Amino acid sequence: MVYLFRPSRTLRRYVLYQIPGWILAIIGAGLLHHLVGLSTSWGIMLVGSWVIKDAALYPFLRTSYNPDSQSPIEKLVGLQGIAAEPLAPKGYINVRGELWLAEAYPRGTTIEQSRPVIVDSFKGRLLLVRPATTPQSAIASPSNV
């Protein structure tokens, strides 16, 4: 059998998660039909509207259903940031315009304010960082690419 359209894993996963909502919409339309006298055509439109709503939301929710996607904090590992305050051992750093709670390591390390840091790992929502050895402007320069 030749498929003209083969859905991605993400789309299949999204559709499977929507099936319980569709079943509840069908049950709700059936109850409204029996209890209030809702016409069959209105019930079908109600369920169809529910399915169309889910289809319209898919592009916005697609990354949430991707089984291989990283969490936002995992994407920070390896990036460079700036210490927004002294890290002795904990404090806040600025990475990609966001403030994150971070801890300097190895233990006993103190990182001064405005010093570049590298995100090496994380524990829960706490970033583990070390002082950067290369200035931030040198990392972004085209000669290093």
CATH number, residue 104: 2.40.50.140
Q: What is the pLDDT of residues 100-115, one digit of tens each?
A: 999 998 888 889 999 9
Which residues, 6 or more positions from 144, have their beta carbon under 8 angstroms from its beta carbon?
138
pTM over 0.75: no
Same domain, 78 and 139: yes
List all residues 6 or more positions away from 94 whose beta carbon is below 8 Å from its beta carbon. 81, 82, 83, 84, 100
Residue 144 pLDDT greater than 80, yes or no? no
Residue 82 has what DSSP assignment? E
Residue 72 binned pLDDT confidence (cut-offs 50, 70, 90): confident
| Residue 131 belongs to a domain | yes
Q: Is residue 2 part of a domain?
A: no
Looking at the fold, whether 13 and 47 belong to one and the same domain comes out as: yes
